[in-house]
Structure 1
């Protein structure tokens, strides 16, 4: 009987051990289960800072703990970080006084724009056409008018709107027009819809656009009826005035015999979101103090509040591929590495970031508030959208950031992948934050698709079998990096991309830090060999003046460089720590 019991016990132990081993393998079933939950309607798209985002973070932390990872943040799996989640109105008013007094009601007749400064102003009204000043295109609404200490009222869009790819299109942005008006001395700018807006005359949507305010100017929009009321005193018609300018392509600016009193007050609402982190300690005395980072973002678009490509009523954007797939990858790799932890030379940190969809907020905060000295990180591996493998095509970014990468990637490709290499270290995902700290990176990506940033990016479209192959490949690459006797070297890869929003003829080479809520344009990094690098600019610098233009945010910067050509030398003022530094920067061609 005892022998029988021992045989049964041994058999049970064998089954149990086999199950444990299987559970620590990378499997398509576990990948599918992770993605199915993270991309479920229950989590409502995991928008940064929401309750559903927190629930997803707790799920990731539980999986880290289950896999045997230690908490990465001083005994916690969670790292909180602040971000601007929304805006709200304070005390706003708009009154016009001339022969008669006209008082407008906020959100009914007028609206302050989200990027308006908080100011109380008073001044005479100048109609300045479309608010465009472009000498090179022989069009200037500000020619022969003085707007210093006055308030300009302008049409939205531009006068050549019916011409595809008109050169005036780059001057049509509301932020750009506000910056131009401010730089010409105006204390306020009032926008009016043109008559081609399907006659709805909707007020601007009050929504945070991810950048700092335009300092030093009040910015509002009023209804066309209110504008027509002002013009009627002069015997003019708003639609005819607009038509006259667009047909003749000539400005028609003038003073309106009216004074405006305007107060704009828009408050930014700060919220909290979370990064999740765990680690496995290496076992080699020589290398255990070096760290390999494996990460992915777990946030998505919620109900399509921002950055959605879907046109229609609000719907949950579940983000199965973007990026529940990458998050599932982190969980599977964490489990796999944990099962082999006795063989690790270097330590491994696993991170899931939120705030990526809002501008790499979580990873940017992490690299500036890292749980260990960040110089100890030897490599960062990022996974973003790895769930739609098609035709065995796998794209890898960052392949030029170390001399080791291409050999390692090719030698470990026993899976038959058709590899596409992109050398750049900066790019549209969280590896950028690490590369800005001079860390070699690899970013794995199976390609975009028609469901990108739409409600249709659901778990049933995931190729979990293909993702299993991708993760096993990443595991083999990561294992070689972890166990190599030689630390990967870092290479700076030239990237001719200034981060501009509008087209530009010049190259500066700055990389924006979207997490920087500062008065100025904060740099997340600079491209090697770029004008910015040659001038001595570096990550963390805040550009406050570019030539004669005050810089309050990235938009001010992008507009300012549009006034220059390759070869121009520009004086740039930066803030570095508590110092104000002036540097000379010579622009190059893109």
Structure 2
């Protein structure tokens, strides 16, 4: 799971489940057997042997083979495109080699090779070669609202390699207003706007967090090469006076394969219930996403993702077994273990675009992401999506499971795979046991899992599906966008990006009613290529542009719709 907003800040309603409610339905398997099975399956999926289950990795293959074996042992039917498997592709850019040469005014040259903890090209910098004179610009910050412009005394940086310090002069103050202007992206974008042919970032302060080397990145790129030289390189402003630099970055396109695992119980019913959970995680953090900051020269750590989301995958396998043995035969059941969730809901997005069943027959979708860490003191978990059907509000509070407390959130969108189904007009529920310190860290291991809590969530879902078994198909309602938590931007368009799109521009996967994009007339599959005066080459450009715009501003957005350019008026 990726958190777009803090789950702990959800605007929710606390209710004790089951006041005047219904007790859990009798399960066709004992509590002890379920908990033993949960521990067995989860501890395997989160074992070091699977190396964090990164999409396209050996560990992902071991995980999906394990899930397939479980479905086969339960006589769950295959419903993928190749048996149980549905394969999708993810294009990435791999750094094959990089050369950095600094030539001082005396003609002496210093060569730097890639050292992942110290010297390396920055992800998303343009590949290729640039050789130009260097210009020192201090911290490289332009913040007119704060009266700061590090470029003010420089005649021109056009056609030169800009050299700047990482961070900002007030870096020891975590609340400094300079922080928003001093991100790596903001600095590079400012240099590009000023006409730089390349960017070199150096670090001269021990307290500033240095970037990580990412040998595999997403396209598209920034329009210039970008290189980082860490504090251990010993370089400072004086080394670049009158100097010339050469930056050369060689890359190649690689294609990673992700694999959804899809099983099916065919009761020959009119409608189908989808139950999903993603099984991929971060591996050794090769593609980013970790919240762990390793020490200098520390080897990459395996991120086992026990809670995120071996817990949901193990619960999925248990629920598949329970419904194979249950008396509930008025729905079919589709079980999907998604891959690529950590890279932007890729597996679920691919499935809804390439479904293996008729999605018009889907009654509702249940998603489980991080269901293994119910706090034993608070004894609560959350359900999102309660506003996606008018009947959820009457059904959910009637279920009683061991005096569990439930936090209800109406929003149908969020940072997990249920969003892909919500965007197609399908009622959804997303089960989540809560955030914790170990989220996206190597310490998210299976020994910390609350298996009794996972059992309680399984009981809740089993009881819920049982209550709905003989009821008519749920109607769908759109929900308001959840806006809790502090936004990094002054404005938002209210769109869901298409993370599988790898062309130029930002492809829209969905819009939120009442938000600027929807009001302006943007639709699913539109490609944003310009916002205001800023060209949008991809996600990075889009995010940087949002940071430059003001709420209430009236401007235009240029899009591609079915190959034709359109310009729409938009109020931010």
Q: TM-score range by the shorter chain?
A: 0.7 to 0.9
Q: Does the 8 Å CA contact 1:274/1:354 hold for their aligned counterparts? A: yes
User: Which of the numbers 135, 138, 149 marks the counterpart of 1:140?
Assistant: 149
Q: Does the 8 Å CA contact 1:26/1:332 hold for their aligned counterparts? A: no
Identify the residue that residue 111 of structure 1 maps to in structure 2. Answer: 120
**1:437-464 Cα deviation digits (max 9, x unpaired):** 3322101112223333344433343333
**1:213-232 Cα deviation digits (max 9, x unpaired):** 43321212346798969836
User: Which of the numbers 309, 312, 316 marks the counterpart of 1:326?
Assistant: 312
Q: Does the 8 Å CA contact 1:510/1:527 hold for their aligned counterparts? A: yes
User: Which of the numbers 124, 128, 131 marks the counterpart of 2:140?
Assistant: 131
SS at match of 1:131: coil
2:259 paired with 1:274: yes
Identify the residue that residue 527 of structure 1 maps to in structure 2. Answer: 512
**1:523-550 Cα deviation digits (max 9, x unpaired):** 3322221111111223333322111112
Q: Residues of 1 paired with 2:449 and 2:107: CA distance?
A: 64
**1:183-220 Cα deviation digits (max 9, x unpaired):** 2222211212124459xxx9853215864343321212
Identify the residue that residue 70 of structure 2 maps to in structure 1. Answer: 63
User: Which of the numbers 295, 305, 321 marks the counterpart of 1:335?
Assistant: 321
User: Which of the numbers 276, 290, 308 marks the counterpart of 1:308?
Assistant: 290
Identify the residue that residue 558 of structure 1 maps to in structure 2. Answer: 543
Q: Does the 8 Å CA contact 1:125/1:152 hold for their aligned counterparts? A: yes
TM superposition shift of 1:582: 1.7
Alignment of 1:435-446 (within 5 A): 435-446=422-433
**1:230-281 Cα deviation digits (max 9, x unpaired):** 836xxxxx8xxxxxxxxxxxxxxxxx54554433333353322211001122
**1:315-359 Cα deviation digits (max 9, x unpaired):** 444333222221121111111222237x43332211011222333
* Count of residues in Structure 1 that have an aligned counterpart in Structure 2: 536
Alignment of 1:389-538 (within 5 A): 389=374, 390=376, 391-413=378-400, 415-496=402-483, 503-538=488-523
Q: Residues of 2 paired with 1:459 and 1:327: CA distance?
A: 13
Range with greater deviation from structure 2 (488-497 or 49-58): 488-497
Q: Does the 8 Å CA contact 2:93/2:251 hold for their aligned counterparts? A: no
User: Which of the numbers 535, 547, 559 marks the counterpart of 1:574?
Assistant: 559
2:213 paired with 1:206: yes
Q: Residues of 2 paired with 1:449 and 1:196: CA distance?
A: 28
Q: Residues 260 and 388 of structure 1: is their aligned pair in 2 closer, same or farther, counting only changes over 3 Å?
A: closer
2:185 paired with 1:161: no
Report the structure number with the largest CA radius of gyration. 1
TM superposition shift of 1:92: 3.7
Q: Residues of 2 paired with 1:224 and 1:460: CA distance?
A: 38
Q: Does the 8 Å CA contact 2:427/2:474 hold for their aligned counterparts? A: no
SS at match of 1:506: coil
Please list every run of 5 or more consecutive structure 2 residues that lacks an aligned counterpart in the other structure.
1-26
Q: Residues of 2 paired with 1:357 and 1:33: CA distance?
A: 24
Q: Does the 8 Å CA contact 1:26/1:472 hold for their aligned counterparts? A: no
Identify the residue that residue 183 of structure 1 maps to in structure 2. Answer: 193
Q: Does the 8 Å CA contact 1:107/1:203 hold for their aligned counterparts? A: no
SS at match of 1:27: helix
Identify the residue that residue 293 of structure 1 maps to in structure 2. Answer: 274
Identify the residue that residue 88 of structure 2 maps to in structure 1. Answer: 81
User: Which of the numbers 38, 47, 52 marks the counterpart of 2:45?
Assistant: 38
Q: Residues of 2 paired with 1:417 and 1:263: CA distance?
A: 58
Q: Residues 400 and 38 of structure 1: is their aligned pair in 2 closer, same or farther, counting only changes over 3 Å?
A: same
2:340 paired with 1:385: no
Range with greater deviation from structure 2 (39-48 or 352-361): 39-48
Q: Residues of 2 paired with 1:489 and 1:203: CA distance?
A: 46
Q: Does the 8 Å CA contact 2:311/2:370 hold for their aligned counterparts? A: yes
**Comparing both structures, which one devotes a greater share of its residues to helix?**
1
Q: Residues 223 and 73 of structure 1: is their aligned pair in 2 closer, same or farther, counting only changes over 3 Å?
A: closer
User: Which of the numbers 192, 214, 218 marks the counterpart of 2:202?
Assistant: 192
User: Which of the numbers 539, 544, 549 marks the counterpart of 2:524?
Assistant: 539
**1:493-535 Cα deviation digits (max 9, x unpaired):** 23337x99x7222232122333332322333322221111111
Please list every run of 5 or more consecutive structure 1 residues that lacks an aligned counterpart in the other structure.
1-19, 233-237, 239-255
TM superposition shift of 1:28: 2.4
Q: Does the 8 Å CA contact 1:182/1:217 hold for their aligned counterparts? A: yes
SS at match of 1:483: coil
SS at match of 2:200: strand
TM-score by length of 1: 0.82
Identify the residue that residue 217 of structure 1 maps to in structure 2. Answer: 224
Q: Does the 8 Å CA contact 1:211/1:553 hold for their aligned counterparts? A: no
2:343 paired with 1:354: no
Q: Does the 8 Å CA contact 2:220/2:502 hold for their aligned counterparts? A: no
TM superposition shift of 1:425: 1.5
Q: Does the 8 Å CA contact 1:203/1:222 hold for their aligned counterparts? A: no
Q: Residues of 2 paired with 1:418 and 1:133: CA distance?
A: 49
TM-score by length of 2: 0.84
Range with greater deviation from structure 2 (164-173 or 85-94): 85-94
